[in-house]
Structure formats: structure tokens, C-alpha cells
Amino acid sequence: MKLKINLTLAVLLSLTVLVKAQNVNVTKALIPAEKQVNILLEKSEVATAGESKFMAPRTLENGQLKSVIGRDWTSGFFSGMLWYLYDLTKDPKWLDPARKFTQKLAPQQYNTGTHDLGFIIYCSFGNGYRLTGDTSYRSVIIQAAKSLSKRFNPVAGVIRSWDHNADKWQFPVIIDNMMNLELLFEATKLTGDSSFYKIAVSHANTTLKNHFRKDFSSYHVVDYNPETGAVKWRGTAQGLSNSSAWARGQAWALYGYTMCYRETKDKTYLKQAENIAKFILTNPTLPVDKVPFWDFNDPQIPNAPKDASAAAIIASGLYELSGYSKEGKNYRKTADQILNNLSEKYTSNAGANEGFILAHSTGHKPAKSEIDVPIIYADYYYLEALSRSKRGK
Ligand code: GLY
């Protein structure tokens, strides 16, 4: 009898190992990732040594490391990556650089000239606060939420995205802006002040109403009349055309509504996230490896550039969505597939690409900028997805 139980246990155990083997091997994926980020850190420290301004790595330009100043929308991703590496490895060696690159972003908490404070402050200070509980980080998050709230227009019910190109649009809102709402939800939790939460919900509801087509693909830009709240124009800036589905935009939408469901438990957001996932995952141009081309409608497909950053954001979003949806098992399986493909086929060669982890992202194809290159936010969401895969959601 005892032998029989032991045998059954042994079979169950080996089955678990078999199932696990199909999952993402986070420990294995982290070995080259850590080596690469060591290089990126070293290069970033050298590149910024004589600089009076804060600089963080963003991409490669003509094979050289390109760094950005604090107000660039991508400035918070590098410190966020350092926090994720600490989170994933528990190796204290990541703590000092994470703190250093985070702290230098502190002046941005007062920046009211960008909607990207969520990216800038929440990826850096937000992760730092989650992992260390440092109360000085808490106050930066709250101040940043106050600054971001200044861009909210109560008539239109949305936060203004861009201030540039005022000749092209009056009150532009881009789908990417969904990502910045996480900072506002957090600020309400930290302060008990519901005004941040209300702005986030208003923005999410208005975007849900105005940004999506019947097939649940998203426009990139919606321009509003700030006096009446009427939609003036729908189109794109970074996608192929006004009627196309720019891959990263769909990724932001998926991740954004999943996060809004986590924060509100409003089923409308869950349904929206599921519908967006369906658009992405059943799209005829989504390649077998599930790493999308930069725009789902590019007629050059399969010869168009890929966007590994969109894939990493989609994987991270799907892990979270898998914890909320009846389709959870499928979402998790797909997220695993994407992560495995990214780590097997899209990583930089050892020591190459100045230490960026992933190659093959596309930033702004219409501007002929950042095409098929490493980009810092691809690496950030890749590490976040690895961490979510390990956590189970
Ligand atoms: N937020 C700009 C981008 O996704 O490129």
C-alpha cells in the first residue's frame, strides 16, 4: 500500500516536472540577461560620467549607446530594470545602482509638461517603493500624481498626452496614456485621496468609448475639442496609417485595461482586455512565434520589421490577465510562448548591442527612427514578464 502511494507520488511529481518544462525557465533566461545589464550599466555609467544632467540608456543609434535626459518618456525604464533584477535575483548588488538611477529622476515629479510621468516615475520610484518601502519614494509618487492630474480636462474627461505639434491637434490623447493611470491609482491608495482614482477611471472610460474600432483594435491618437469634449479626429502618429493597428498601441491597450480591472474590479475593463487580446492573438498577421510585426496592417508583412517591445508588453499583460479571465490558461500558455521565443530568438548576442537584452524592436517607423533595434522598454517589460511568469500572474 505504502509503495503504491509512493509510486503515485513519484508519477505526479514527474508529471509536474514535465508540465513545468513547458513553462518559462526564468533562472536560465536570467543568466544572459544579467550579464547584458551588467554591460549596459557599465556603459551607461561611462557615458553619463561627465554629464551634469541625468542620463539613462534608451537605444542604439548607429551602433552606439543613445542616452536620454530625465524628461524623456523612456528615462524611468533603466532604473525599473535594475529594480526588477533585484526582485528576480534578490542579489543586493542591484540595489545601489537601482537607487542611484532612480534618485536622479526625482526632479521629474514636478514635471507637468508630459503625460508620461507614469512611465517615468512609476517604473522607477514605484518599483523602488514596492521593493524597499522607502518613504521618500512614496512622496515622489504622490507629487508625480499631482503633476499628472494637472493635465486632466474634466470636460473631455481625459488627460492630455502631447503638447507638441499644436498645429496638428488641439487636445491629443494617445492609447499609450492608459499606462500612466497606474501612478494615479497608486496615489489614491497611498493618500486616501480619491481624486486621482476618479481621474484615472474617467480617462479609462472615455478612452474605451472613443479610441476603439468595432474589432477592438485601437487608434493611436484621438484629438478632442477641450471646450466641448467632442472628438475632432482619430488617427495615428507612430503607426502605418490612420486606419491601421500599430502593434505597440494594441499592447498598451491590453496591458492598460488589464491593470484598470486590477485596480477597480470593473468587469467592463476585463471584457475590454479580453476583446483586445482576441484582436491581437487571432490576428491573421500575427506570426507563429507571436512576436508581432510593428503594425498589424503593414502590407510588407512578412518582410516588415518586428517589434519585440510590443511582444514583451503583450506577454506581461497576458500573465496578469490570466489571473482574472476564464481564458486564463490560454493566456498564460501564450505568454509563455512569447517569452520563450523572445529569450531564444530575439536576445542580443552575448556582449553585443552595448548590453541591451533584446534586439528587434521598432520605435517610430514613420519617422524612420529606431527600426529593428534594441530599445530599453522592451527590456523592461521582458524582465517584468519574467517576474510575472515566476510569480504565477
Ligand atoms: N509612448 C510612445 C511609444 O510607445 O512609442
pLDDT in tens, 232-287: 999 999 999 999 999 999 999 999 999 999 999 999 999 999 999 999 999 999 99
Q: Does residue 307 form part of some domain?
A: no
When comparing pLDDT for 44 and 286, which is higher?
286
CB of 375 within 8 A of CB of 309? yes
What's the pTM value of the predicted model, to 2 decimals? Answer: 0.94
| pLDDT score of 76 more than 50 | yes
Q: Is 279 in the pocket of ligand 1 (CB under 6 A)?
A: no
Q: Does residue 132 form part of some domain?
A: yes
pLDDT band of residue 18 (cuts 50, 70, 90) is very low
Instruction: Name the residue range of residue 101's domain.
Output: 53-150
Q: Is 248 in the pocket of ligand 1 (CB under 6 A)?
A: yes
HSE of 108, CA atoms in CB hemisphere, 13 A:
30
Tell me, what's the pLDDT at 48?
73
**What is the CA(176)–ligand 1 centre distance, in A?**
6
Q: How many domains does the chain have?
A: 1
Q: How far is CA 142 from the centre of its chain?
A: 21
**What is the CA(249)–ligand 1 centre distance, in A?**
8
Q: Does residue 135 form part of some domain?
A: yes
Q: Does residue 74 form part of some domain?
A: yes
Can you tell me which atom of ligand 1 is nearest the CA of 248? 4
Can you tell me which atom of ligand 1 is nearest the CA of 309? 4
Q: Does residue 281 form part of some domain?
A: no
Query: For the segment 196-211, what is each residue's pLDDT rounded down to a tens digit?
Result: 999 999 999 999 999 9
| pLDDT score of 166 more than 70 | yes
**What is the CA(186)–ligand 1 centre distance, in A?**
22
Q: Does residue 301 form part of some domain?
A: no
Q: Does residue 16 form part of some domain?
A: no
Tell me, what's the pLDDT at 47?
75
Q: Is 84 in the pocket of ligand 1 (CB under 6 A)?
A: no
pLDDT band of residue 22 (cuts 50, 70, 90) is low
**What is the CA(83)–ligand 1 centre distance, in A?**
22
Kindly list the catalytic residues.
Answer: 116, 176
Query: For the segment 99-126, what is each residue's pLDDT rounded down to a tens digit?
Result: 999 999 999 999 999 999 999 999 999 9
